[in-house]
Amino acid sequence: MGAYTDAAVKANEEKRLRLRRESIKPVCAIIKEIMRVINPKIPVSKALDLDKIINIINRTNIDIKELRANSFRAAVFEHKGLRPVLWKLLLDCLPLDASRWDGKLESNKAQYDKYVSEGAGKTFLRITPSLREGDKLQASIVNDVVRTRTEISYLHYDPSSPSDPLRHVEAISRILYVYSKLNDEIGYIQGMNELVGMIYITFYEGTMKGYESYLESDTFFTFSRLISEVSSHFIRASDGTMSGVRMELSSVADKLQRLDLSVWKKLQSLEINLEFFALRWAITLMTQEYGVEDAKYLMDALICHKLRFAFLQYMIVALIVVTRKDVLEGDFGVAMEALQSASKKIDARRLVEVAERMRLQDIKFIKKYAPKKKKK
């Protein structure tokens, strides 16, 4: 009798869910396609998460705070087509009026195509054997891109496109080249290839049917917006050194001192500077430390968090603290080896949980020890 009752309840829930979904009238083709490809066999709880997000974005006046508060759910990001839309919305790459999305994508594509055909990218349309002998910037970018996410085979040789099997490598290289030419105060810095690669892979795998032609321009503008939010990482001193990311790591060191004084002291005594191992973590937003799916999750966390990319500092502290035993008990060599391989000790989801717990702990510490304001 109990099993029958459970089955009846589940059937009623699924019926209500189906009726509610059928009542949604998509305001644009992208949302219609997202709804079309939802797996009908997913559990009701996950379906409810998806429906909530679809209802939030299916508006002509999207509440971005409500969207951010509800976005960071596993079920939402299991839908490959929804993740690119959420990244673009939360990074302010799409209007908060879903009915205007198609027009925005089209105007962005036209602008990007203009950059390529008339300006920054006109000399970099295809990868050729002579490329590395010419423009040093092009050569530097290509050398990095061909080493980007080599575990994703289609990225480097796409058998589905026999006439242009290098199309993805060329697209990523072109995006970086155009960005560098348009932003000469920042230029190209090694590690940017990892960020563009992650965005490109995510968008390629989540591209809705009929929107394939926007992949490259979408990636370019999303990457540009992301860099604008972490531009301090790429500030150079007059001697060419990365002074911006050094300041970022200085803030990380302050947090580490508050959150784990013993580890901070030991690193000081061993004369281990955070730059020795965490420079790459900061520049690549930790994406290079993990496989593709975990790296996507880290990007989800940073884009959705109310601190945005400032949350990265707590993620770095969390990854350092994971090595606590090795650092406290080991010498310079042992500590460095542990720090450089820290990501093997903790997966991305657990890392985000620990980082958030540390953020809350840090808030309590600051409140407790902050100087008291004198009463007038």
Q: DSSP of 214-252, one letter per residue?
A: GHHHHHHHHHHHHHHHSGGGG---TTS--HHHHHHHHHH
More confident residue, 292 or 236: 292
In this prediction the pTM is 0.88
140-146 mean pLDDT = 92
Per-residue pLDDT, 374: 63
Per-residue pLDDT, 240: 52
Do the Cβ atoms of 339 and 274 come closer than 8 Å?
Answer: no
Per-chain mean pLDDT for the chain: 86
Integer Cα distance of 278 and 249 in angstroms: 8
Q: Per-residue pLDDT tens for 8-20?
A: 545 555 555 554 5
Q: Per-residue pLDDT tens for 188-228?
A: 999 999 999 999 999 999 988 889 999 999 999 999 999 99
107-111 mean pLDDT = 96
Residue 297 pLDDT greater than 60, yes or no: yes
Domain spans of the chain? 2-97, 99-231, 243-369
363-373 mean pLDDT = 81
Do the Cβ atoms of 303 and 225 come closer than 8 Å?
Answer: no
Q: How far is CA 26 from CA 57, 58, 69, in A?
A: 10, 6, 22
3-state class (DSSP) for residue 271: coil
161-178 mean pLDDT = 88
Contacts of 129 by beta carbon, 8 Å cutoff, 6+ apart = none
Per-residue pLDDT, 19: 46
CATH entry, 243-369, from 3.90.1010.10, 1.10.472.80, 3.30.565.10, 2.60.120.20 = 1.10.472.80
Class of domain 99-231: mainly alpha
Integer Cα distance of 211 and 225 in angstroms: 20
Per-residue pLDDT, 185: 85
Residue 182 pLDDT greater than 80, yes or no: yes
Which amino acid, 117? S
